[in-house]
Amino acid sequence: MDRVLRASASDPDAELSAPVPDKGYREAFLNLSRNLAPTGKMFDRLEIRDASAPALEPVELQVTSRRDLNTALKNIRPPVLDDVVGPMVNHQVIVTAVRRKGKLVYQDIEAEE
């Protein structure tokens, strides 16, 4: 896990594909790492240390890390959703959206199980 978190914090576009070759898992790790990264409102740096290996350098997430992780997430997602949405046509789905400035903005879609 240390390798994955370090890759996410340092250069997610270039380094994360080696330890996490599966695109779906890579997206999940990017989302988790991004959610840990500070926004700058309450704090601007987060250090994560491995309790089982205290001699290792801590992984550091900063406000800029959050921006980089958002960019990596945009790069990993497909530019068109036809391949994702097509198999869901005529099936029940769950769509996640957020409200921004009075408008609903798409976040995610998944098949209802």
Question: How confident is the model over 78-92, as pLDDT tens digits?
Answer: 667 666 677 778 888
Please report which confidence band the pLDDT of residue 113 belongs to, taking 50, 70 and 90 as the band edges: low
More confident residue, 8 or 87: 8
Q: How far apart are CA 84 and CA 66, in angstroms?
A: 26
Amino acid at 45: R
Higher pLDDT, 34 or 85: 34
Per-residue CA distances from 16 to 35, 49, 71, 85, 98 (Å): 17, 19, 13, 26, 28
Once rounded to an integer, what is the mean pLDDT over residues 27-40?
92
pTM: 0.65
The tokens of 84 are what?
Answer: 């994702």
Q: 40-60 pLDDT, tens per residue?
A: 989 999 999 988 888 899 999
